[in-house]
Amino acid sequence: MSVQETLYHRLGGYDAIAAVVENLITRLRNDAILGRFWAHRGEDGIAREKQLLIDYLCANAGASLLYTGRDNKTSHHGMAISDKDWQIFILHLDDTLSFFQLPDREKKEVLTFIESTKNDIVEISG
């Protein structure tokens, strides 16, 4: 696969992924149910979280970028994220990708990748 064919480049590179993360985190923080995960976080901690998410997504989309954060299972352990939380998150992600008019191919790839992380993030079924 050439550099131009990576999902990272098809998404628009670093700046595009950073814009998606900013939009998504804003939606999640403002959600009546999911906002609890950010309710008592300082702005510096949220900024760090955004940067880690940007790096994680870039690295997993094919960028030559080293992700230095923890794995999903470790970083989400003890947060009591439920299936309901996950479904709300996916709706916000879908809305964010639609907001940026992501082409169907790339949108499907992003959603498929994110769904592949569910078992490491969701702790409560039902």
pLDDT in tens, 5-38: 999 999 999 999 999 999 999 999 999 999 999 9
Q: Are 81 and 126 in contact (CB under 8 A)?
A: no
Tokens of 50: 């955004």
Is 115 part of any domain? yes
Is 126 part of any domain? no
For residues 61 and 123, what is the distance between their CA atoms, to the nearest angstrom? 25
Report the predicted TM-score, pTM, of the whole model to 2 decimal places.
0.93
Which residue range forms the structural domain that includes residue 55? 3-121
Count of domains observed in the chain: 1
Biggest alpha carbon–alpha carbon distance for the chain = 43
Q: Are 45 and 87 in contact (CB under 8 A)?
A: no
Is 57 part of any domain? yes
Is 93 part of any domain? yes
Tokens of 61: 């989309």
CATH number at residue 100: 1.10.490.10
Tokens of 16: 């595009």
What is the percent of the chain where pLDDT is above 90?
94
